[in-house]
Amino acid sequence: MKIVVLDGYTLNPGDLSWDGLRALGELTLYERTPVAETVARTQDADIILLNKAPLTAEMLGQLPKLKLVSVLATGYNIVDTKAARAHGVTVCNVPTYGTRSVAQMTFAHLLNLTQHVAEHSQAVRAGRWTNSADFCFWDFPLVEIADKTMGIIGFGRIGQSTALVAKAFGMHVLAYDVMLKASPDPEVPLVDLDTLFAQSDVISLHCPLTPETTGIVNAARLAQMKPTAYLINTSRGPLVVAQDLADALNRGQIAGAGVDVLPVEPPPATNPLLTAKNCYITPHISWATSAARERLMDMTIANIKAFLAGTPQNVVN
């Protein structure tokens, strides 16, 4: 059984072990794979593991030995799942490994927006406090989040985990999810998007990227938000129209944004959010805590074992 990992560096830059995969077959590891080399590197593969390396219909048609594609992530839009099914190739993902880590990053961004810890720390290191006439100072409004309302778009596992943290901070929570007929949390009412955008002090995105959700945050929706409200996106970059968000931030139409994802990654220097006011960007790392990556590795191994046993799990095609 030949197993090829096309882009293993982000999952394991050296702090995890690949031994669990080696025990399942002949393992070939690549840190990164240019698109032009994908077919050559996987020509004899029975199993392909990938994170962001694309696997198109054309590529799949040139891989006659391929039986399984296991995505090293929850999102699987990099694989043409219909073409895979047509070629008899099973595609699976890992849906639950990063739930708590993503919820944690959501609040890292929210607390940064409301407290500006790093910027105040930098001011202290620059000597501002040492030379202050007063016992304290602050350069930004300090916002208490208790009794504020968080609106969550996408109320699946991560959205629900985020709601639990919000409630622990004393926040009220609203949710929108087109797939749900009733809220799984009696303390979190489901509302329509107009209500959520108008009433929320913080909007946090946790929905999948689909044709219906692409650009769900746009100029019209941003115009519905309070001028004191924040937007947080730890889900998928194309959920937000980047230029519309940048315009809203630069005009002071909303108070700030924290994003861990962008429409194109790495982003081009022309992305307007890179220079927008009160926009804090992290490089798609909400999933990448060591604990989450260990779970991702373990669950990927479990996916392959289940497939080899004839009982595939987490199948997405």
Neighbours of 36 (CB within 10 A): 7
The one catalytic residue in 265, 293, 294, 295 is: 265
Instruction: Establish whether 236 is a catalytic residue.
Output: yes
How far is the C-alpha of 178 from the C-alpha of 162, rounded, in Å? Answer: 18
Which pair of structure tokens corresponds to residue 309? 């046993």
Q: Which residues pair with 259 in a beta bridge?
A: 233, 281
The one catalytic residue in 100, 120, 221, 236 is: 236
Half-sphere CA count of 215, side-chain side, radius 13 A: 7
The one catalytic residue in 284, 293, 294, 295 is: 284
Please report the sign of the dihedral spanned by the C-alpha atoms of residue 222, residue 224, residue 230, residue 232.
Answer: negative
DSSP symbol at 267: P
Q: Which residues pair with 48 in a beta bridge?
A: 4, 69
Instruction: Establish whether 265 is a catalytic residue.
Output: yes
Q: What are φ and ψ of residue 207, in 5° steps?
A: -105, 160
Catalytically active residues are: 236, 265, 284
